Amino acid sequence: NQPAPAYKRVLLKISGEALMGDQGYGLHPPTVERIAREVKSVHDLGVEICMVIGGGNIFRGLQGSAQGMERTTADYMGMLATVMNALAMQSALEGLGVFCRVITAIRMDEVAEPYIRRRAVRHLEKKRVCIFAAGTGNPYFTTDTAATLRANEMACEVIFKGTKVDGVYDKDPVRYGDARRYDDITYDDVLRDNLGVMDASAIALARDNNLPIIVFSLDEPGGFRGILAGEGTYTIVH
Binding site for ligand UDP (CB under 6 A): 15-17, 54-56, 60-62, 75, 78-79, 81-82, 135-136, 138-139, 141-144, 146
> Measured from the CB of residue 26, what is the shortest distance to ligand UDP in angstroms?
12
CA-based nearest residue to 11, from 133, 161, 136, 197 = 161
Instruction: Closer to ligand UDP by CB, 24 or 177: give it.
Output: 24
Instruction: Closer to ligand UDP by CB, 18 or 228: give it.
Output: 18
Please tell me the chain's helix, strand, coil percentages from 3-state DSSP, rounded to the nearest 5. 40, 20, 45
> Measured from the CB of residue 83, what is the shortest distance to ligand UDP in angstroms?
10
Instruction: Closer to ligand UDP by CB, 14 or 49: give it.
Output: 14
Instruction: Closer to ligand UDP by CB, 138 or 152: give it.
Output: 138
13 annotated to a ligand binding site: yes
CA distances (Å), origin 112, targets 116, 121, 122, 132, 230:
12, 16, 16, 10, 35
Instruction: Closer to ligand UDP by CB, 5 or 208: give it.
Output: 208
> Measured from the CB of residue 100, what is the shortest distance to ligand UDP in angstroms?
19
Residue showing the smallest CB distance to ligand UDP in the complex: 54
> Measured from the CB of residue 78, what is the shortest distance to ligand UDP in angstroms?
2
Q: Which amino acid is at 167?
A: G
The string of DSSP letters for 56-76 reads TTT--HHHHHHTT--HHHHHH
55 annotated to a ligand binding site: yes
14 annotated to a ligand binding site: yes
136 annotated to a ligand binding site: yes
Instruction: Closer to ligand UDP by CB, 138 or 233: give it.
Output: 138
Residue 96: other Cβ atoms inside 10 A: 14
Contacts 24+ apart (CB under 8 A), 122-128: 124/9, 124/48, 124/49, 124/50, 124/154, 125/48, 126/99, 127/43, 127/46, 127/48, 127/99, 128/99, 128/100, 128/101
Check: CB of residue 237 under 8 Å from CB of residue 197. yes
Instruction: Write the DSSP symbol of residue 17.
Output: G
> Measured from the CB of residue 159, what is the shortest distance to ligand UDP in angstroms?
13
140 annotated to a ligand binding site: yes
Check: CB of residue 36 under 8 Å from CB of residue 96. yes
* Annotated binding-site positions for UMP: 55, 75, 136-143
* Annotated binding-site positions: 13-16, 55-56, 60, 75, 136-143, 163, 169, 172
* Annotated binding-site positions for ATP: 13-16, 56, 60, 163, 169, 172
